[in-house]
């Protein structure tokens, strides 16, 4: 019964009380393909897994041989370890090289610049990293340690990364995310025409009260305002799914309409709608 890892399998149907257990086992034992596990939600961080898989799939269709993925805001490293693991699996399944980068001060949150960094919710020093311990755990992912205001200046020259395909934004602050987003305005040789992005801090609760005028949401709005041919868009295909998930609202795709590969055909080749009798 577990052999069919699809949402059409009754074991993984929403109404089935055995679903959480079946999903947990599927995830733990990594049963089926990465794509199949994505379909039944068998990942600790389905939003990371989703971005990794679909950005690699797009890159492959566009003919890229190697791409990069980044996490902005690493803290202890739980997210980066998963990102590295997902990238390794997807790299094999899709047949494309994937580099992984993690950006962090190493010392936790810097001082907030002003109200836009939500000092009512964040304090300097939150989320400090045990760098030596994390480096021991990582296999291939590269840690870029330092304030993003400095590392953003040298990253592309220093690392010559493969084109960015997916980015996990978890810097918490407006001021840090604003800089991270300017890195997506770099020369197109470092970027895919469409980039999958996850934003961790745009929903929250009654304490955070994330809104369009502070934090990560403001950074997104300002990016869209200043760029006439590059735009972040919500993932409408996710937020309209029958069974809603909060993270669907945290996925955005960045479109660069002038990228030389933006118009390359990546859809189904054989599409006809003959008149029915």
Ligand X SMILES: C[S@@+](CC[C@H](N)C(=O)[O-])C[C@H]1O[C@@H](n2cnc3c(N)ncnc32)[C@H](O)[C@@H]1O
- Contacting ligand X (CB under 6 A), which of 9, 91, 105, 214? 105
Does 104 engage in binding with ligand X (CB under 6 A)?
A: yes
> Quick one: which segment of 86-94, 142-150, 184-192, 237-245 binds ligand X (CB under 6 A)?
142-150
Judge whether 23 and 12 are in contact, CB under 8 Å: yes
Judge whether 165 and 196 are in contact, CB under 8 Å: yes
Does 147 engage in binding with ligand X (CB under 6 A)?
A: yes
- Contacting ligand X (CB under 6 A), which of 32, 41, 73, 161? 73
- Contacting ligand X (CB under 6 A), which of 173, 199, 210, 247? 173
What is the DSSP track for 183-252? GGGS-GGGEEEEEEEEESSSS--TTT---TTSHHHHHHHHHHHH-SSEEEEE-HHHHTSSS--GGGGGEE
143: its two tokens: 């840690």
Q: Measure the CA–CA gap between 161 and 151, rounded to whole angstroms.
A: 14
Binding flags for ligand X, 200-239, as an x/- string (CB under 6 A): ----------------------------------------
Nearer to ligand X, 56 or 167 (CB): 167
Binding site for ligand X (CB under 6 A): 71, 73-76, 78-79, 103-105, 108-110, 127, 147-149, 170-173, 176
């Amino acid at each position: 019964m577990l052999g069919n890892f699809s949402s059409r399998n009754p074991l993984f149907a929403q109404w089935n009380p055995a679903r959480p257990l079946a999903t947990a086992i599927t995830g733990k034992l990594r049963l089926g393909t990465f794509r199949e596990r994505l379909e039944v939600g068998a990942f600790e961080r389905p939003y990371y897994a989703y971005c990794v898989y679909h950005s690699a799939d797009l890159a492959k269709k566009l003919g890229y041989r190697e791409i990069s993925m980044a996490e902005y805001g690493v803290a202890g490293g739980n997210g980066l370890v998963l990102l590295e693991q997902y990238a390794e699996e997807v790299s094999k399944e899709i047949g494309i090289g994937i580099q992984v980068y993690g950006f962090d001060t190493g010392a936790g949150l810097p001082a907030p610049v002003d109200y836009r960094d939500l000092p009512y919710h964040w304090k300097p020093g939150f989320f400090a990293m045990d760098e030596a311990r994390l480096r021991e755990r990582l296999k291939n992912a590269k840690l870029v340690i330092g304030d993003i205001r400095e590392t953003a200046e040298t990253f592309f020259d220093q690392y010559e990364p493969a084109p960015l395909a997916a980015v996990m934004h978890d810097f918490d602050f407006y001021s840090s995310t604003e800089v991270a987003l300017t890195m997506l305005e770099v020369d197109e040789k470092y970027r895919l025409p469409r980039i999958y992005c996850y934003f961790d801090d745009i929903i929250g609760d009654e304490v955070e009260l994330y809104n369009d005028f502070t934090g990560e949401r403001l950074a997104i709005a300002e990016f869209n305002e200043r760029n006439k041919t590059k735009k972040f868009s919500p993932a409408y295909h996710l937020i309209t799914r029958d069974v809603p998930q909060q993270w669907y609202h945290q996925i955005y795709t960045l479109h660069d309409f002038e990228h030389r590969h933006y118009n390359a055909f990546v859809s189904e080749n054989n599409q006809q709608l003959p008149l029915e009798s």
